[in-house]
Amino acid sequence: DADVTQTPRNRITKTGKRIMLECSQTKGHDRMYWYRQDPGLGLRLIYYSFDVKDINKGEISDGYSVSRQAQAKFSLSLESAIPNQTALYFCATSDTGTSLNEQFFGPGTRLTVL
């Protein structure tokens, strides 16, 4: 079983709809991240969380919100989706206990907003 899972893997929605992307991990890591990737570009950080009570904005948090329901779960919400939020979304985790900070990425969610 994959250590970092994302649901759904693909989603098509309409402008103005509320969308939630979910991320779960079995690695026991404290830190979780949400990134988006646009075609031909690198990943940009949306939000990150270092534990259940810690939520921080990344580079491009406008139009998004997150919820850290448990150590293993980190959800990303688009309150009112717009077409320029069409992108590939990745969740990642990392371990607090080492200085390595290797991030482990999920398989991604491809979101299309019409």
Partner 1 sequence: DAKTTQPTSMDCAEGRAANLPCNHSTISGNEYVYWYRQIHSQGPQYIIHGLKNNETNEMASLIITEDRKSSTLILPHATLRDTAVYYCIVRLTSGTYKYIFGTGTRLKVLA
Task: Give me the residues paired with residue 50 across strands.
Answer: none
CA distance linking residue 14 with residue 76, whole number of Å: 17
CA distance linking residue 110 with residue 28, whole number of Å: 25
Query: In this chain, which stretch among 22-30, 43-51, 64-72, 78-86 interacts with partner 1, using CB under 8 A?
Result: 43-51
Cβ distance to partner 1 smaller for residue 17 or 71: 71
| Contact of 78 with 63, CB cutoff 8 Å | yes
Cβ distance to partner 1 smaller for residue 84 or 99: 99
- 21 touching partner 1, by CB under 8 A: no
Q: How far apart are CB 105 and partner 1 at their closest, in Å? A: 3
CA distances from 7 to 12, 20, 30, 59 (A): 13, 9, 20, 23
Cβ distance to partner 1 smaller for residue 17 or 22: 22
| Contact of 103 with 32, CB cutoff 8 Å | no
Q: Which of 41, 53, 62, 70 binds partner 1 (CB under 8 A)?
A: 41
- 70 touching partner 1, by CB under 8 A: no
Task: Give contact residues for partner 1 (rule: CB under 8 A).
Answer: 4, 31, 35, 40-45, 48, 56, 58-59, 88, 90, 92, 94, 100-108, 110
